[in-house]
A and B are shown apart, each in its own frame.
Chain A
């Protein structure tokens, strides 16, 4: 029997499954759409038509005459667009690190917020800010670096405490995360109270308000995010193998300790950067990978990039809601993600009680 003939339909089907365009098209369109919406909505609402033409006019080789009000341009490029981009990359960072942490802990309840990494990063960031409130690009670079260190220390402690034998059970993971998180948050509050100036801004930052403004936070965070996210994207296959437990992963030839270290460093770096510039935004890293798994399966080679894309659009929409609910007043976006995320988390916990495995 000709083996090639038997095999080929399978190959075709498999490549189709893996390269199926639908999830990619959906997530990319969602990201672009929510970004446009996010940039258009605000106290001065910019019509979508003008927004698109303003962006198009920036492209080389176009000859669109600027017939829109001059203030639109200032609002868009100085205020809205940097903010939109920062929110987008923050959401992408949270979605990506959430997917990586869940895969690492083999636990769908792990996310940067729940395991305490976000609070640890927050403490690091606030320490850096207390020493020198970010004024220029260089000062800003110190904040994510400090946040990264804070995140790494936290994840190391949580990992060491939560591990029972060779596994990491849900309960110990969450308990360790909660304890460390409370400690870090308490320390953060104390530092903030001691340094009285800028308190309002700091509080806003704490609950996830994008309060800094301008392009500097975007430029300062981009290198960390790019390195971290690109690293995570190469870890899809090992993360799949890790789902079978450390023993089987070792027997399949994976250098388990090294891979885990790389995952922890990359995911913490990404989460810490998000925290450093956008504050502590809960539950994005929990919800987004979960939705991706439900829709498109457990393969981390797709899960990671899709969670990154969807994380961006999720946070962009949450931010639109945050700015519209009590307009003209703006809510910090963290309030909105928590309002959606907390019930979702409880629902997951309820399901886990019935010993339903998630993936």
Chain B
């Protein structure tokens, strides 16, 4: 599996309320594509739709040309994993048990995890630096630690494509940075295709290869951060005066609000 994720003409809606429509996106292996946009524009819905677990009204989500909505759940979960927001996790499960659940799509009804599964889970924990907390209950961990554990679980799923829904929400500056550095590292090492919903435009600018700017239920613009994170585009979508400067250290766009 190479792992090219493509959303074609995707349309989603809950009854008559909010809808995403005409969403066309491609994510290549080794690439991080960030989804940005104002609150309620449908970033989380887009991630869910891309995961193949949300019924589409129209269009398709494919990995290497295979339609995710036509796959059995376990087959689909061997191709695409989702890092959820670390909210309301059942607190008494320990870290190792949680990460091992990433092996679910590889196990039959009555099958137990093998030594191999344990090795895979352990490696995922080492790479996310969660191995030292293997036996600790999730409820005792900080938000950043919980988020890393969820990334470890997705890694244990061993999929070519990974989706992330605002993994930096509720994290402080340092942990936001560390988490996204980790994501970058994993993308480079495993050649993962990552579609990530993010709130903070400056994090997007620093860590994403490309950005999809959502507005009014569809993709307004896709491109390199330099091309998408411009005052004109952002002001139009967010409805606020915006200035973009060049970051003095890494030279990428730095987004500031005006007034």
Contact = CB atoms under 8 A, between A and B. Distances in A.
B48 interface: yes
B61 to A, nearest CB: 13
A254 B153 CA distance: 15
A7 interface: yes
Interface in B84-100: 84, 88-93, 96-97
A52 interface: no
Nearest to A357: B91
A248 interface: yes
Given A11-B118, A234-B110, A298-B92, A253 B84 contact: no
A344 interface: no
Contacts of B81: 251
B93 A251 contact: no
B122 A241 contact: no
A255 B74 CA distance: 8
A250 interface: yes
B119 A3 contact: yes
Given A13-B135, A255-B73, A247 B53 contact: yes
A234 B112 CA distance: 11
Contacts of A255: 72-74
B91 A250 contact: no
B51 A251 contact: yes
B57 to A, nearest CB: 18
B242 interface: no
Contacts of A234: 109-110
B109 A299 contact: no
Interface residues of A, number: 30
Contact of B101 (A3, A6, A11, A252): A252
B122 A298 contact: no
Interface in A233-255: 234, 237, 240-241, 243-245, 247-248, 250-255
Contacts of A254: 73-74, 104
B14 to A, nearest CB: 10
Nearest to B111: A237
Contact of A252 (B48, B105, B118): B105
A14 interface: yes
Contacts of A297: 92
A208 B104 CA distance: 41
B53 A250 contact: yes
A357 B139 contact: yes
B255 interface: no
Interface string A1-13: 0010011001101
Interface in A1-46: 3, 6-7, 10-11, 13-14
A133 interface: no
B84 A359 contact: no
Contacts of B135: 13
Contacts of A241: 101, 104
Contacts of A7: 118-119, 122
B101 A240 contact: yes
Contacts of B119: 3, 7
A299 B82 CA distance: 23
A14 B122 CA distance: 12
Contact of A253 (B73, B92, B122): B73
B174 interface: no
A253 B76 contact: yes
Contacts of A299: 93, 97
B134 interface: yes
A249 to B, nearest CB: 8
Interface in A259-304: 293, 297-299
B235 interface: no
Interface of A: 3, 6-7, 10-11, 13-14, 106, 234, 237, 240-241, 243-245, 247-248, 250-256, 293, 297-299, 357, 359
Given A6-B122, A244-B84, 18 more contacts: A7-B122, A10-B134, A13-B135, A14-B96, A240-B93, A241-B101, A243-B90, A244-B90, A245-B88, A247-B48, A247-B84, A252-B104, A252-B105, A252-B157, A254-B74, A255-B74, A298-B93, A357-B91
**Which 3 interchain pairs have the tightest Cβ spacing?**
A253-B77, A253-B105, A253-B74
18 contacts: A6-B122, A7-B119, A10-B122, A13-B135, A243-B90, A244-B84, A244-B90, A247-B53, A248-B84, A250-B73, A252-B102, A252-B153, A253-B75, A253-B78, A298-B92, A299-B93, A299-B97, A357-B90
